[in-house]
Structure 1
Amino acid sequence: MSSLWEFLVEYQTHLIFAASVVLSVSAAVHIALTKRDVRAAIAWVGVVLFSPFLGPILYFIVGINRIRHTRIRSHRDRLLKEVADHTAVTVSDLARHAAPQCLSLKKASDTVTRFPLCGGNEIIPLNGGDQAYPAMLAAIDAATDSVVLQTYIFDNDIVGHRFADSLIAAFQRGVRVRILIDSIGVRYSHPTIVNRLRQQGVMVELFETNAVTWRMPYANMRCHRKILVVDGEYGFAGGMNIREEFLTEITRDETARDIHFQVRGPIVAQLLVIFCHDWLFSTGEQLKLSEWVAAEAAFMPADMAARCVPSGPDREIESTHKVLLAACAVAQQRIRIQSPYFLPDQVLIGALTTAARRGVQVDIVIPGRNNLRLVQYAMMAQIDQMIETGCRVWKGSGNFDHSKLMTVDDSWSLIGSSNWDSRSLRLNFEIDIEVYDRRLAGWINGAIDNEIAHGERLTVEALRKQGLLAILRNKLIWLATPYL
């Protein structure tokens, strides 16, 4: 024993060096075998090789996609088949809904998401928490059979208490209730809302993205989806979390803005498929879709053509990214985008700038006031790439706007939870809905036009006037954009 100790003491430097080499080389090999983005691979290889021990540990925590593809693959495939049967109404004549060029976009989306494009939907915009929260609470209060709720942030504040009380009341009158909250987002308030719900018997679970435990299952990956489905018939989706900052009666002049959406029709069954899949992933409980969806799909007179586009670091990785590229490629007249966190990668920047060079009018609206200052700095570091090629970039006025909207040629819209950044498009689990309908696109265009009318157009000259130190600060923060 003493000789072993003496050996370890004498050669400790050599052993530490050998261990660091083994760890770094092993991590580098794993990176080369698993990473699909060459820039990310090069960056990670540099980190693990030039930061002994720290680099491999950092890669182990945040750099590995540990999503298990096989554990729930058969269940997801079965749910998709059920929803395909349930929403058998497909759109064969898109001319009723959208511009002719959208047929190419539909074909591209067919290869990206396995959900069918279905007609018979109604999608109603809800402007801010003042409209969205009362509509959502009224639906929960009227529930007679089931309520499923999935959200990123569920704050323990006044608005959170209203939702919790409605959910508890629904549960107490015999309604089946399932609540799924992201394990990072739930900690935006302390203490969390979870105990308030669980103490009353409501089944609430966390989507396991927590990196604090030794298991570190899905560090740096968050479930950013927002889904509410009541009685398998009434749905709500979009980008709005459950928190009081969106309600005027509480925050008054400082109220944050957002646009959420109420949906009815066959699209609701698709939202349920996504929830059931995430519920199984997080809890191990299999929910039978037929027991949660309405017995018969309610086909709405509005007859909007729509489908869900789920994305995440699993089999749907980069799904939304691919749909965005396809939308930019088919655009002939206008692309309108509003995003609170606009940090597209070079591929998306190329798609937007190429569209602008083709003569497509590209308008991009970003917040004038951002709730994440570092993101605002990073956006300013790369926005000139769009402006220089003819894209028009506008800074909104007033309070922070969290809306996530896009339209193409006044007839196709993308709504949902995704931001135009690497976190949403590669790391997070997101849910978006593509809608082929001129009426909804017209409403969204009106909202974006209002922002433009009251906003400020950014120019390259204005960006240069920020000063050298501000430009350098922005560029340094921009380097960390994949993890902001």
Structure 2
Amino acid sequence: MDIISALFWITILLNSALAIFTVFREKERDIAAIWAWLLVIIMLPGFGFVIYLFLGRKISKEKIFDIQSQERIGMVQLVESQKKLIETENLDVPESKYQDKTFELIQLFLNGNQAVLTKGNKVKLINDGNDKFDQMLEDIRKAKDHIHVTYYIFRGDSIGKKLLKALEDRAKQGVKVRVLYDPVGARVLGKHFFDGLRQYGGQAEPFFGSRFFLINLRLNYRNHRKIVVIDGKIAYTGGFNVGDDYLGLYEEMGYWRDTHLRIEGNGVLSLQTRFLMDWNASTKQKTIEYDESYFPFSGLKGDTDLQIVSSGPDNEMHAIKKGFIKMISMAKESVYIQTPYFIPDEALMETLKVAILSGIDVKVMLPNKPDHPFIYRATLSYAAELIDYGGEVYIYDNGFLHSKTIVIDEEILSVGTANFDIRSFKLNFEVNAFIYDRVLAQSQVQLFKKDAAQSFLLTEEIVDGYSTWELFKQQFSRLFSPIL
């Protein structure tokens, strides 16, 4: 027994020492993430290292450089082209009650993310999956030159096959069709799912890593973006993926409440650039060269000014998170947030608390059912903390809420792929539209109020009624929030 005991303690000490060495050797890692990974590796000797191998390692410097080099190729062309329409040194700031602050937000994205302000777009808010796919499939069937598609989740169910059929039909007619899918989100697809598309001249490639799930050492860095660009003239982005669950056809999830955008105008060109950069970073043998046919400037299509902002683990700027912080700090009256996961880092949580204590009406809406139970428990813990400071948290009770929106003072709106959580801010590749349009912002507020009528308010009494076991699970889950 003495030998077994000695071996046990030697194993624990060696595991702990290796854990410290392994986690701390990677520079520029967030302190909270360091402690979370140490907890995982020490609590799960041996197995914790396997988890870390697949989920914990940062992107190598070589890979970061490679992605950034691709970005420079695409971004230089975009910025130079759009300078024909916009003098970035003298931006025409959208009319606002806080003119200077709006200018600061625009400059934040321009300087930190090279996100050009595009003016005069026509933007439609879509909040139902059937409406989204009906409209998008109609647009795809009219494509004449190219169709570019990126989705995080792409299922081979009825809507997945319907979309694939529409893409195949256009490829048969000589339209250039390219599909970029995330190897984690599309892991359930059979390896021959896109064979027909390829047979007709289309292309389908995994983003940033092997499509073989079990050997993909970058699977923690997910392309969570959803982008569809049709002929460089129409684009879609937002929360909907491709699957029958997004049409509300999964009984266990119920009605699927999400938010998506259909964009016409020069904002499409920013999403086009984002797709081309992602494609070139993923497909070394099939890279796309800059071509004016991909950037057909269309002039003014509507009244909406917007910026397309992207973020990911390839860049320490965390532009979308900084945009949220700036928006919340700008608010004079109200902040409305919808998100399926509410796991803010310390900076965002403090910004929300400051807003609440300053008299700003802060409302957050969350789903009433988890699609990831571990993450949901951490979400409830942060929600309870927000309530303690006077914020309002609504629990959507009409199915599953997957919408990712934030609107301030019924003036500025953000819709995109980023959840209000650390994973979206630091680990996922995301894209959001920041929209300067009172009409759309007010429409989103009305949608929020409509959803609130199908929700219940999470009160202090409900939180106080949590059992000791439930509170333990919430706090335990919260320990791992920096790496969830």
Q: TM-score, normalised by structure 1?
A: 0.89
Q: Are the structure 2 counterparts of residues 366 and 192 from structure 1 closer, same or farther at C-alpha, using a change threshold of 3 Å?
A: farther
Give how far 1:405 is off.
0.8
Q: Quote the residue 1:335 is aligned against.
A: 335
Give how far 1:199 is off.
4.9
For the 8 Å contact 1:112–1:322, the answer to whether it is kept is no
Q: Are the structure 2 counterparts of residues 50 and 357 from structure 1 closer, same or farther at C-alpha, using a change threshold of 3 Å?
A: same
Q: Which amino acid aligns with 2:287?
A: Q
CA distance in 1, matches of 2:452, 2:212: 43
Q: 2:54 aligns with which of 38, 54, 61?
A: 61
Whether 1:300 aligns to 2:300 is yes
The residue correspondences of 1:365-404 to structure 2 (distance < 5 A) are 365-404=365-404
For the 8 Å contact 1:98–1:436, the answer to whether it is kept is no
Give how far 1:34 is off.
3.6
CA distance in 2, matches of 1:192, 1:327: 45
Q: Quote the residue 2:177 is aligned against.
A: 177
Q: Quote the residue 2:3 is aligned against.
A: none
Q: Which amino acid aligns with 2:58?
A: N
CA distance in 2, matches of 1:411, 1:449: 16
Point out the structure with max Rg over C-alpha. 1
Aligned pairs, how many?
470
Q: Quote the residue 1:107 is aligned against.
A: 107
Q: Are the structure 2 counterparts of residues 175 and 24 from structure 1 closer, same or farther at C-alpha, using a change threshold of 3 Å?
A: same
Give how far 1:283 is off.
0.7
* Structure 1: 5+ residue stretches without partners: 1-11
CA distance in 1, matches of 2:191, 2:454: 39
Give how far 1:474 is off.
2.2
Q: Quote the residue 2:93 is aligned against.
A: 94
Q: Quote the residue 1:346 is aligned against.
A: 346
Range 200-209 or range 461-470, more displaced: 200-209
CA distance in 2, matches of 1:347, 1:194: 43
Q: Which amino acid aligns with 1:92?
A: L
Whether 1:30 aligns to 2:25 is yes
CA deviation profile, 1:300-351 (whole Å, cap 9, x unmatched): 3423111111011002552211111111111111111011111212221111
Give how far 1:230 is off.
0.5
For the 8 Å contact 1:23–1:56, the answer to whether it is kept is no
SS at match of 1:69: helix
The residue correspondences of 1:76-87 to structure 2 (distance < 5 A) are 76-87=71-82
* Structure 2: 5+ residue stretches without partners: 1-6
CA distance in 1, matches of 2:406, 2:201: 40
Q: Quote the residue 2:275 is aligned against.
A: 275
CA distance in 1, matches of 2:103, 2:375: 35
CA distance in 2, matches of 1:477, 1:118: 41
Q: Which amino acid aligns with 1:464?
A: D
CA distance in 1, matches of 2:322, 2:386: 19
CA distance in 1, matches of 2:211, 2:197: 24
SS at match of 1:94: coil
Q: Percent identity?
A: 26
Q: Quote the residue 1:157 is aligned against.
A: 157
CA distance in 2, matches of 1:147, 1:270: 15
Q: Quote the residue 1:144 is aligned against.
A: 144
The residue correspondences of 1:307-326 to structure 2 (distance < 5 A) are 307-315=307-315, 317-326=317-326
Q: Are the structure 2 counterparts of residues 253 and 178 from structure 1 closer, same or farther at C-alpha, using a change threshold of 3 Å?
A: closer
CA distance in 1, matches of 2:345, 2:370: 20
Q: TM-score, normalised by structure 2?
A: 0.89
SS at match of 1:187: coil
The residue correspondences of 1:453-472 to structure 2 (distance < 5 A) are 453-472=453-472
CA distance in 2, matches of 1:248, 1:53: 41
SS at match of 1:186: coil
Give how far 1:54 is off.
4.5
SS at match of 2:80: helix
For the 8 Å contact 2:184–2:213, the answer to whether it is kept is no
Give how far 1:482 is off.
3.6
